[in-house]
Structure 1
Amino acid sequence: MDSDKYYIKNVDTEQDSIYCHHDLMGELLIPAHQHKKSQMLYTEGGIVYVETENKTYFLPARHFMWIPAGISHSIHPSSEDVMMRNLYFPTDKNEPDLLLKEGIYPVNEVLLQMLLFTNRWNGNLEKGSPNYTIASAIKAMLPEICKNNLSLALPFPKDPRLVKLAAFLDANLAENIKYSELADRFGFSERSLHRLFLKDMGISFIQYFTIKRILKALELLIEKKAPVNEVALAVGYNSVPTFSNTFFKLLGQRPSDYLKGQEILKK
């Protein structure tokens, strides 16, 4: 890892400052690292995955990810031209529970405008300065507006049998995959496969497969600009209303509304 990178060299140099960094990604991988400060990461213009030790998170547009201090993570954008906006906050003695764990949250209009206002800043914001006060206000808002931690994360399968099964799902998302046939294909009973998913990844097969399909749908909506009905078919939904309802349960908005939010960012 290049020790001259800002996220290694500069973020933690001043313990009590809030560090601000806005720039294009400029690279297709920010290797695994951690900070003594908590990170608020907001991105525009492409797909971004954030990997921690146990999960892969998908960070869609008009959402931010909160990464608590000390959490090792790597960042994987779809393009070097993805815009990244970061605020790094010192950890307070009495942090709200929300800020003690990683999560992905929607950005409302007020928070979006405040984040965009910080676009003119870079580097350490000194405690007591006007900019520090504004950045502190952003952090103070989060427990009030971030009521919905989105389930846009997939755990890594550890069992070699599930690694193969997950690869099969990736290659066949457009197919109508029946759970009973999948279990039989990989030598499981339905009950034993269910138990293995819960033990190995902490979620059921249905939860895992649903999230995987919706994450792929988000990629197609953002990158390919495919219409909603084509995206639904591409991830195995024959019914657009069913796809839309599932999308809404995970993201809190319909696919068409999500695309409208993408257009707002371009203005």
Structure 2
Amino acid sequence: MTDARERAGRPPLVALLSGAGISTDSGIPDYRGPQGMWRRDPEAEKLVTYEYYMADPEIRRRSWLMRRDSPTWRAEPNAAHRAVVELERSGVPVRVITQNVDGLHQRAGLDERKVLELHGTSRRVECTDCRASGDMAEALARVEAGEADPPCRECGGVLKSATVMFGQSLDRRVLGTAMEIAQACEVFVAVGTSLQVQPAASLAGIAAESGARLVIVNAEPTPYDELAESVIREPIGRALPALLAELARDRAG
């Protein structure tokens, strides 16, 4: 299949769609898995739902405490993140489309221009009124100093993390670029994602329908398993490095 695609002029691009499961080994819990945050505490969804966040100051105060105490600030890239960087450094063109907001792909060493953050980033804040942006660390320092719901310094508006909350739409430009990558890639690896959240999940189907080799690495079944050339249920920290090392060897050969 690979040789035929190369003769047809397809670029040897490897695209990865990463979800929360790739970061659990870094100490960041997932959301929809058996021990996921939303299953353990359904009320927590309100803290990241735009309608509730904007309407209720108490929700905002609780959200800021959740951000302050997030394991993201202590997390380090794990073997799976590093394996993606190693594949890219081997000379294989790589693009990461991530549903995560933790920034660990970039911290592992992947050029930020090669990472599309579908759901934004938790490392920045933005004003819901004037759209001014800033560093999350500075906002959290204000929370530590006693501002339970720190307003925008520019206009006094409501601040939120620069993430896409429930009830908000994805950035059209980012999603459009992600679709282009899914259509153009030779291999599409969906790793650590339930493939249940649209439109991100549809990227796996777009890739498969466009002729890419679809590989799914996830502990639980997904709606796209039947379209995949292979489905891997092994732990991501072991399975993804092995898979990407094989892809690198195939290219070197």
Same fold (TM over 0.5): no
The alignment's TM-score, normalised by the length of structure 2, stands at 0.27
The alignment's TM-score, normalised by the length of structure 1, stands at 0.26
Q: Compare relative contact order (CA 8 Å, sep 6+) and give the higher one, 1 or 2.
A: 2
